[in-house]
Each structure stands twice: as C-alpha cells, then as structure tokens.
Amino acid sequence: MKYHFIILFLSFSLLTACSKTESQLEQIKQRGELNVLSRYSPTSYYKKGDDFTGLEYDLAKLFAQHLDVKLNIIVPDNLSNMLHLLEQGHADIAAAGLTITPERKKLLRFGPVYQEVTQQLIYRRGNRRPKNIRAIAGSLLEVVADSSHVEQLKQHQTDIPALQWIENKKLNSSHLLELVQLEMIDFTVGDSNEVAAQQNFFPELRVAFDISDPQPLAWALALSEDTSLYDEVEQFFEIVSASGELDSLMEKYYGHIRRFDYVDTRALYRKIITALPTYKPLFKKIAAEFELDWRLLAAIAYQESHWNPKAVSHTGVRGLMMITNGTAKQMKIDDREDPEQSIMAGAGYLIFLKSRLPERIPEPDKTWIALAAYNVGLGHIEDARIITQQNEQNPDSWPDIKQNLPLLSKKKWYSETRHGYARGNEPVRYIENIRRYYDILLYDIESGNQQNSSEESQQQGELPSAL
C-alpha cells in the first residue's frame, strides 16, 4: 500500500507539473471555450431583434473562431467587477471598449489599439451649454465608477479644485446618458463612439466639449509572464486589419450614425406613437410571410413615405412603400395606396432583388445592396459593383460599394457603364437613413437589463466554474 501511495502521489505531482507548464492559450484550446468579459452597450454587446450583436461581440466571435473554440460572454454587474475579475484570472479577455490609461496599464496588459475616442461632456438640449469645464463646478455631474472618465476628471481637478462629481457603481454609461436626457442629472461624461451610437435613442443629448485628447481602445488581459494569449490576440488583429474585416465592422456599427438629424429623429418618435400602431399588424404579418424582420419593413416604409399610405412623389411612385407602376404590375397588385398591397409589393420586390444578387454575398451586405437597388435600380447597382471591382475593392461588400456609388454621377465613370448616369449619393443616404430608423425601431430602453448569453445557447450565461 505504501508503494501504491507513493506512485499515486508521484503521478499526481507529474500531472500537476504538466498542467502548470501549459500556456494560457493551450488551456483555452483544451477546455474549448473562450471566456470574454464585456458590457451591455450599443458599442460592445447587446440584443438586436432576436440576435446578439455589437462590435466587441463580433470581434470576440471572430477571435473564438480563429482559436476554434466556443465563445462565452460574461457581463459583470459593473466596470469595477469586470476589472477585478480580469486581474484575478477569472476570464481570458475583457472586450468592452476599454480605454488604455496609465493607471490601468499598471494592472492590465492591453492588446493592439483598434479605435480611438475622445471623452465628451454631455448636457441636455435646452439647457445652457457650458463654455468650459470650470463652468460646471457646483453642478450635478455623475460618471461611471472606476472608469477612464474618473481618471480624466481627477487630472482636471488638480487645476480646478471646485470640480466635483459622483461615481456611480450601479449604472453604466448608457444609463447615465438617459439620466441626462430625463434631466435627473446635469451632466455626464461619455466616450465619443458611444455618444454617437446613443444619440438616435436620446435625441435631446448634446456634446458640450471634449474633456480629453483622443484616447486608444483595446482588449485587456491579465498581467502575466505567459504571453501566449496576448501574442495570439496581436496576430488576430493583424489578420482582421489586413483582410479588411475590422474596417467592415467599423462601417457596420458606425457607418450610418455619423450624421445625426435632430428634427428627423424627433419626427420618427412622434410617428412611432401616432402612425405606427395602425400599420404594425400588417408589417408583422407580411414580414412573417417573407421571413423578414417587420421592423426593417417599417423602417423602409418610413424612409419612403413617413408611413403615409396616400404619399405620392413627383415621379409618380405612391403608397406606404412608394411603389412604381412597373413594380405594382410585377408584384401583381392593383391598388398602390392600399397599405396591405403596398407592403406586400415592397417586401416581395425586396426579396426579388436579393434573389438577383450572387448567393455568395453575406448578410447584412446583401440586404443593404438590395435596398440600394430598390432605390436606384439594380442596373446602376451592378454598374457600381463593376466599378468597385475595377478599383480593387470587394463588389460583394456594401461598405466598398458605398464608396463607389457616388462615382456614377461623374462622367469619367458613368460614360463607361452600361446603365449610365445616376445620382449615386442618394442610395447611400437612403441606406444610412433606413439603418438609423431600423436601429431606433429595434431599440429597447431596457436593453441594459438583457440577460447574458453564451455563443451556443444564447441563454443566461454564467461565470466560469473557477468562481
């Protein structure tokens, strides 16, 4: 028995020693799962319709695929817990739009920079805009606890001792922006990317001024002598940068929100209350028949007619979906001003246009390209795709086509095309508007309370068992 015990002890010691020599990257691959800390935010991770999405989520999903493992997203209660969990090694990476700051670099290792933001002081429209940060001393300023905003404010406080603020450990940036909108606090600080993403949902918000220089964002990892995971993250970002995938994701999440239209956004919110309830059942019914999202159909209809079934343009298109005579005949409807027939024709025509595009085009690019064709005609879109290819860009990518569409109004280019001149800027604006309207229709004011999800189950996630 004594010898058996010694053999078992030596075997256990050997196994323990072996496990200790495994790198962090090898451990992730062995367990088949990447544990990523994130936060609920339009710039990181959120639910859109029935699916989870967000820039950080999409990047993390690509990285998990790169490692050939499953993705497990973990959303801690607050930023402080996120940073502590990472420091203690209870997750592999934090992908949450984290700013690289001197204080954080003492505690964490940061991957490659993929975006830059500025910190902005936010106030509500209708209130007096402060001229500088000295002017807000004595006001109610609230920011997220342990955030880079706190570090920045402390730097300002050295010159302005009267500058005070409240650090909120329970609410995130989105919630604080909402409190400013509701006039429950005077000011907050937000990163420029998040402010831009949220402005359509909180149209009364305004940027007073920047309180920082541009600052880099990156994924964060725990400090360790083991650099295996960090090296893989570095290689991954080199790959997605070189392939154009990173640029495509940036366009996907920010390409349609650079231009904010206050009047248009407020008008949409009024119409959501006054007009949408009348047509919502039809949008839902017809969208289900064509396997489309009803909110996308509603966004298209709002762009076309502002949900006015009697709308008529100077070119003769009419109805909720602004159907031409030719499309009405093709879709076999006889009354373009009948809401149900109009939505049916619009949905059917969109599906028809998508069927005319190559199967290899991925979503959501195929939908945006088909909608551009809905606006300017499939022939002009094919011309733009050819020009895109001639310019050594991807003719199956909406971000690339979007860059080349305006060339259809320049003689040098349209004179060489099959279908000739087109106002190529119009379909670009058309798609940007629809995407903004779609985002607003999808938006749920309680989105910050959505349940966590693993990549596979899309149900409430759990922290790793090590906790």
Q: Do the domains at 22-115+220-254 and 262-442 have one common CATH topology?
A: no
Give the whole-angstrom CA distance, residue 465 versus residue 467: 5
Model pLDDT, residue 298 = 96
Which residue among 142, 178, 232, 304 is the active-site one?
304
pTM listed for this prediction: 0.70
106 versus 19: which is more confidently predicted?
A: 106
Model pLDDT, residue 37 = 95
The first and second tokens of residue 372, run together, are 């551009």
Model pLDDT, residue 47 = 79
Q: Which of 16-25, 249-258, 378-387 has the lowest mean pLDDT?
A: 16-25
Give the whole-angstrom CA distance, residue 41 versus residue 168: 17
Whether 202 and 128 have beta carbons less than 8 Å apart is answered as no
Q: Which phi and psi angles does 249 have, rounded to 5°? A: -70, -40
Residue 372 has pLDDT above 60, yes or no: yes
3-state secondary structure of 147: coil
> pLDDT band for position 34 (50/70/90)?
very high
Give the whole-angstrom CA distance, residue 307 versus residue 284: 15
* The CATH number of the domain covering residues in 22-115+220-254: 3.40.190.10
Cis peptide before 364 (omega within 30 of 0): yes
The first and second tokens of residue 303, run together, are 């762009």
Residue 284 has pLDDT above 90, yes or no: yes
Model pLDDT, residue 20 = 56
- 288-306 pLDDT, tens digit each: 999 999 999 999 999 999 9
Q: E strands within 118-163? A: 119-124, 142-144
What is the architecture of the domain spanning 262-442?
Orthogonal Bundle (1.10)
Model pLDDT, residue 188 = 96
Cα end-to-end distance, the chain, whole Å: 36
Q: What is the mean pLDDT of residues 167-181?
A: 91
**291 flagged as catalytic:** no
Give the whole-angstrom CA distance, residue 408 versus residue 403: 11
**Domain 119-212 superfamily per CATH:** Periplasmic binding protein-like II (3.40.190.10)
Domain range annotation of the chain = 22-115+220-254, 119-212, 262-442
3-state secondary structure of 98: strand
Residue-wise DSSP of 195-246: HHHHTTTSTTEEEEEESS--EEEEEEEE--S--HHHHHHHHHHHHHHHHTHH
